[in-house]
Every structure is written in structure tokens, then in C-alpha cells.
């Protein structure tokens, strides 16, 4: 016991020496603009993501209006943005709207909220670190991301309109031959620049998780949230460079006249547009898991916290997320069944795609088993976590059909695909982001959000999401192709007009329902009640310090003694009179290790 205490003391002293407490910045610029504090950078990402989430949502409403009332002027937004056409969405404008909607939602809304904001905010606090491993690189990664946002805005102001080659930007449509003008060029550049930011962030997340864990914080004591963000960072570092390569070659084609992606009569060389599809989807399918892994981790923790019991088979969840991370590199070909790839190769990708569903199913079953017979507290974060479990289950089941070659021949490029990936990637990440925001809002801002408003926001969101994307599944199964400016010019799609219209009504209600969140967020930030020290009664390290945390997080770095889900332990209840215990908390009869004096630098 004495030798163990000596080792703990040595580890603590070493950790304190490696993470000295720096003096807080004194100027407005260093506090809020070029801040090195991971919590301020997290809020910068959060604000940027929420603003562009609004932009992407407005574009989605334009798409839904066009599918419900093709040829009619768009109310309110039409007069503002479509004045030249009398408020009517034309074919070219429709291409621009859905292109910008997809790219903004993926790269400039969900990514900065789920990975940029909560990755920055949570990783150091949850592992017991004072900041990121590379604070300057962290600040630089945000401002590089901000540069990409400027390029997105510039794309809207392009000489021939915004990008309009589809969110996948397949050549030759995305080359100057298919989509001339600066708007498309600026959007491709924005994707490249945000990729640079993602790589910077990924390097920081990986290094911080490996090197700055508090003494006693072994890998298998980390919250599942940290595991999800860590594995996402690994995928970012490995596969975002592939997307960057694809975007860079496309930029060279557009700006300097190279011919990497041009073939046939349009070129004197030997370019190949299918090359872009390979590069895009080598990144693109891991991108699905880049967005969903943090959501899995957050939900895995929240269902345990609010079921008041340890997460079912914690190690199995970690192994499942790791297996998905590895397998995500070898399944991209199911996006290309229709490109004429070798049938044997297609069969291989099909088998691998079905295999990757196994660890995902294990995660799903672990969540259900955690909830089973738990003392469930239906708080707003828990409701959003349960909503994510529900929509991810729907999306995962529909993905099985698209992963098999035969049904994909029929369903490929239909609205069924759109409904599937919106359930799996968009809706699941969207609901998990709100679960995280409601859960960590008291820690971020020191105030509590309204539970009644949060629950109203949840029910409108989950019902709206289910109806909207379920309607897309039905339309796709009935034969409606995606990317059609006016589907109803085809006689065989006329019977789907009512379905599209009612689905659009659900989308409009879903969009309006977000006003509950907007009011709740801003009102709570400035006038909400002061948050309790530990409002959710959980034991992870961030709840052992004040809310909002000081710049250096921990006056004394903690010594971690147990995992993140020590809930409803009879021994703890007997000794402490409550159903939770902190990861670094000492039981009354345990011998504590004296904390080292805080180092300063």
C-alpha cells in the first residue's frame, strides 16, 4: 500500500510539472479572439456551428418547399434571396441550394458542433488535463476553420451563383465544363481548408488523450465520450488527407486547367472522373463514422448516467467502436456498385459492409441492456440520447438494403438513400449534439436550461425527424429519384405528390420547433438559474470543479481511482448516502495521496 501511494505521488508530481498553471490572459483579444483556452475555442466552434446549422436548415426548407410546391414563389425567403426569379426556385438555383445544404450541414455545422466544440471542451476536462497538448495549434485550427467559413460565404456571392455540382462534387459536373463560375471553386477550396483544420484538431486530440491523462486515468477508465472523440480524431488524421488530395486535384483542374478528372473528347490526356469517386468515398465512408463515433460515445455515457447503472459491457462498447473504426477503411466501395466495378470486388465490399454492422449492433444492444431495468431519469439530455438510439436504429436497418448489391441496383440514387443517410448520419448526430449541449450547458456557462422547453424541443424534433426522413424512405422505395428539380413532371411519380407535401409540412414544423431551443439557449445563458455543482449527479471529473471551470481547469490534478459509471453501488450508498461517486473521490476509509502543490509557469 505504501509503495502504491509512493508511485501515485510520483505520477502526480510529474503530471503537475508537465502541465503548469499559466497566468490568465488580460486583453480582450487574448481572452476571446486568439484564446489558447480549450473551453473558449470550444465555444467559438459552437457559435460557428450553430450559425451555419441555421443556414443549412434554411436551405433544407427551400428544398422541401420545392418538392411540395414546385414552381410556386417561396414565401419570405424567396423575396430576399430569389428576387431575380420572382421568388421561384429555378433548376440551376435548386442545384445550388441542395449542394450548399449538404456541404454546409456535414462540414460546417455538425462537424464544428459535435467534434470541434465538444471535442475541445470535453477531452481535457474528462481526462483530467489542464488544456490541450498544443494550445497554439488548437487556436490556429479554429481560425483556419474560420477561413473556410469565409470561403463558403464567398461561394454564395460567386459570379454565377453558389456551388451547384451536388454535395459529392463529382466530376465532370464539378469541373469548369459542368459548373463554371467562382462559386464552385470557392466551395471546393473551403472543403480543402476545413480539412486542414480537421487534421490539426485530430493531431491535438490524439496527443492530448495519449499524453495528458491524469494519473490513474487508464484507457479503460476513460468515459465513452472520450473514446468516441479519440477514434474520430484517428479517422480524421488518416482519411481527411485523402479528401484534401481529391479537392486539391479538382482545384487544379478548375483553376490551372489540368485534366486529372477529365476524359474523352474533353481532354488531350488521360484523366478519369471515376478517380475522384474513389478518393471521395475512401474518405466519405469513414466520414460517416467520424460524425457518428462521438455521438455513440456521448449516448453510451448518457444512457448509463440517467439509467443510474454502469454501462453494460463497457469493454465491449470500446472494442465495438474500435472495430468500426478499423473496418470503416474497407467498405467504401458499396457507394460505387453502379460505376461498373468488378462484380467480385463489389461482392467483397458487400460482405465487408454487412460485417461492419455487427459491432454497430453490439453497441445498440449494449445501450438497450444498460437501459433495461434501470432507474431511468427522463431528463432532456436522456430524451435526446434515447431519440438518437431510435433514429440510428431506423437508419442502420435501412442501410442493410443499400449495402447489398441486388437491392442497391433498384434503390441507388433514389430518395431511399437520402432518407437512410439522414437517419444514420444527420439525425443521429443532430440529436446527439443536442443531448451533449443540454448535458454540458451548465458546465459551459454556469447556468441551467429550462427542462420543459427542452422537452418540448425534443418531442417536436424527434417526431419531425421521424416523419420527414421516413417520408423520404417511402418516396424512394416508390421510385422517386433524388436530385430531381421537379419530380412530378414524370407521370409515374404523380401519386407521390401528396406524400412529398405532407413530408414538407413535417419539415416546416421541425424547423419551427427549433425556436424552443433558440429561446431556451439564449435566455438560459443570460438569465437562467445558477447551475448546481453537479446537477446530474455523476462522477466524471468535469463535475468535480466549478462551473464554468477556471482557465486551468484543475487547481490540483486528480488521481483517478475508478471508471466513469460507478452508479448505484450498494457500498457507495452505504458509506456516502448517495448512488454515485466521483472518479477521483476517496471513500471514508481509503487512504488519500497528498496532492502536490500546483505548479505555475
Contact assessment for residue 353 and residue 334, using Cβ atoms and an 8 Å cutoff:
yes
How many CB atoms within 10 Å of residue 1?
6
Place of cell 429561446: 519
> Euclidean distance between the first and final Cα of the chain, in Å?
33
User: Does a structural domain hold residue 592?
Assistant: no
81 pLDDT tier (thresholds 50, 70, 90): confident
Of 75-79, 89-93, 396-400, give the lowest mean pLDDT range: 75-79
Segment 360-372 shows an average pLDDT of 97
Segment 594-600 shows an average pLDDT of 42
User: Does a structural domain hold residue 596?
Assistant: no
Global pTM value = 0.95
The parent domain of residue 251 ranges over: 2-576
User: Does a structural domain hold residue 106?
Assistant: yes
Q: What is the pLDDT of residue 266?
A: 55
Q: What is the pLDDT of residue 585?
A: 95
597 pLDDT tier (thresholds 50, 70, 90): very low
pLDDT above 80: residue 5: no
**CATH number of the domain that residue 164 is part of:** 1.20.210.10
pLDDT above 70: residue 571: yes
Q: What is the pLDDT of residue 594?
A: 45
Contact assessment for residue 41 and residue 204, using Cβ atoms and an 8 Å cutoff:
no
Q: What is the pLDDT of residue 595?
A: 44
User: Does a structural domain hold residue 587?
Assistant: no
Preceding omega of 548 cis (within 30 degrees of 0): yes
User: Does a structural domain hold residue 583?
Assistant: no
Mean pLDDT for the chain overall: 93
Question: How many domains does the chain contain in total?
Answer: 1
Segment 1-18 shows an average pLDDT of 68
Q: What is the pLDDT of residue 111?
A: 97
Digit-coded pLDDT (tens) for 296-339? 999 999 999 999 999 999 999 999 999 999 999 999 999 999 88
User: Does a structural domain hold residue 363?
Assistant: yes
591 pLDDT tier (thresholds 50, 70, 90): low
User: Does a structural domain hold residue 109?
Assistant: yes
DSSP per residue over 486-542, as a string?
A: -GGGSGGGGGGHHHHHHHHHHHHHHHHHHHHHHHHHHHHHHHSPBPPSSTT---SGG
Percent residues over pLDDT 70 in the chain: 96
Contact assessment for residue 318 and residue 227, using Cβ atoms and an 8 Å cutoff:
yes
Amino acid at each position: 500500500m505504501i509503495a502504491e501511494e509512493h508511485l501515485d505521488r510520483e505520477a502526480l508530481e510529474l503530471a503537475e510539472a508537465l502541465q503548469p498553471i499559466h497566468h490568465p490572459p488580460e486583453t480582450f483579444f487574448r481572452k476571446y479572439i486568439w484564446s489558447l483556452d480549450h473551453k473558449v475555442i470550444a465555444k467559438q466552434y459552437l457559435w460557428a456551428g450553430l450559425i451555419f446549422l441555421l443556414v443549412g436548415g434554411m436551405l433544407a426548407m427551400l428544398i422541401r418547399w420545392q418538392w411540395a410546391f414546385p414552381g410556386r414563389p417561396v414565401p419570405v425567403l424567396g423575396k430576399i434571396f430569389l428576387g431575380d426569379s420572382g421568388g421561384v426556385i429555378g433548376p440551376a438555383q435548386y442545384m445550388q441550394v441542395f449542394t450548399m445544404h449538404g456541404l454546409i450541414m456535414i462540414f460546417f455545422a455538425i462537424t464544428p458542433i459535435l467534434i470541434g466544440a465538444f471535442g475541445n471542451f470535453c477531452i481535457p476536462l474528462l481526462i483530467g488535463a489542464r488544456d490541450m497538448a498544443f494550445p497554439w495549434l488548437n487556436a490556429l485550427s479554429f481560425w483556419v476553420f474560420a477561413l473556410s467559413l469565409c470561403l463558403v460565404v464567398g461561394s454564395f456571392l460567386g459570379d454565377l451563383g453558389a456551388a451547384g455540382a451536388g454535395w459529392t462534387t463529382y466530376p465532370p459536373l464539378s469541373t469548369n465544363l459542368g459548373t463554371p463560375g467562382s462559386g464552385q471553386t470557392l466551395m471546393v477550396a473551403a472543403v480543402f481548408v476545413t480539412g486542414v483544420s480537421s487534421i490539426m484538431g485530430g493531431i491535438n486530440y490524439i496527443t492530448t488523450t495519449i499524453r495528458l491523462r491524469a494519473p490513474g486515468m487508464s484507457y479503460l477508465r476513460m468515459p465513452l465520450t472520450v473514446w468516441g472523440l479519440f477514434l474520430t480524431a484517428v479517422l480524421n488524421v488518416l482519411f481527411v488527407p485523402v479528401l484534401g488530395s481529391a479537392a486539391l486535384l479538382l482545384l487544379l483542374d478548375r483553376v490551372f486547367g489540368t485534366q486529372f478528372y477529365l476524359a474523352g473528347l474533353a481532354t488531350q490526356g488521360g484523366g478519369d472522373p471515376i478517380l475522384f469517386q474513389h478518393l471521395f468515398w475512401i474518405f466519405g465512408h469513414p466520414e460517416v463514422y467520424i460524425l457518428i463515433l462521438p455521438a455513440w460515445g456521448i449516448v453510451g455515457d448518457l444512457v448509463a448516467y440517467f439509467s443510474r447503472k454502469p454501462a453494460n459491457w463497457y469493454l465491449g462498447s470500446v472494442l465495438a467502436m474500435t472495430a468500426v473504426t478499423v473496418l470503416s477503411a474497407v467498405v467504401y466501395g458499396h457507394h460505387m456498385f453502379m460505376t461498373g466495378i468488378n462484380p467480385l470486388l463489389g461482392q467483397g465490399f458487400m460482405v465487408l459492409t454487412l460485417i461492419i454492422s455487427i459491432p454497430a449492433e453490439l453497441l445498440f444492444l449494449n445501450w438497450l441492456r444498460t437501459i433495461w431495468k434501470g432507474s431511468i431519469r427522463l431528463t432532456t439530455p436522456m430524451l435526446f440520447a434515447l431519440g438518437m438510439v431510435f433514429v440510428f436504429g431506423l437508419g442502420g436497418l435501412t442501410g442493410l438494403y443499400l449495402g447489398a448489391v441486388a437491392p442497391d441496383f433498384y434503390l441507388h440514387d433514389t430518395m431511399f438513400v437520402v432518407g437512410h443517410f439522414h437517419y444514420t448520419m444527420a439525425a443521429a448526430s443532430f440529436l446527439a449534439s443536442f443531448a451533449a449541449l443540454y448535458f454540458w450547458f451548465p458546465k459551459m456557462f454556469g447556468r441551467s436550461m429550462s427542462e420543459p422547453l427542452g422537452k418540448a424541443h425534443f418531442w417536436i424534433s424527434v417526431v419531425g425527424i421521424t416523419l420527414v426522413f421516413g417520408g423520404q424512405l417511402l418516396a424512394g422505395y416508390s421510385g422517386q429519384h433524388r436530385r430531381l428539380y421537379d419530380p412530378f413532371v414524370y407521370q409515374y411519380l404523380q401519386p407521390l405528390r401528396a406524400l412529398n407535401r405532407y413530408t414538407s409540412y413535417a419539415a416546416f414544423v421541425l424547423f419551427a420547433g427549433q425556436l424552443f431551443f433558440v429561446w431556451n439557449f439564449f435566455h438560459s445563458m443570460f438569465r437562467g438559474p445558477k447551475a448546481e455543482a453537479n446537477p446530474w449527479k455523476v462522477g466524471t471529473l468535469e463535475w468535480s470543479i466549478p462551473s464554468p471551470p477556471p482557465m486551468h481547469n484543475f487547481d490540483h490534478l486528480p488521481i483517478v481511482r475508478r471508471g466513469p459509471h460507478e452508479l448505484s453501488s450498494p457500498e457507495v450508498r452505504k458509506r456516502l448516502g448517495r448512488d454515485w461517486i466521483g472518479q477521483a473521490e476517496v471513500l471514508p476509509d481509503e487512504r488519500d495521496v497528498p496532492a502536490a502543490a500546483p505548479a505555475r509557469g
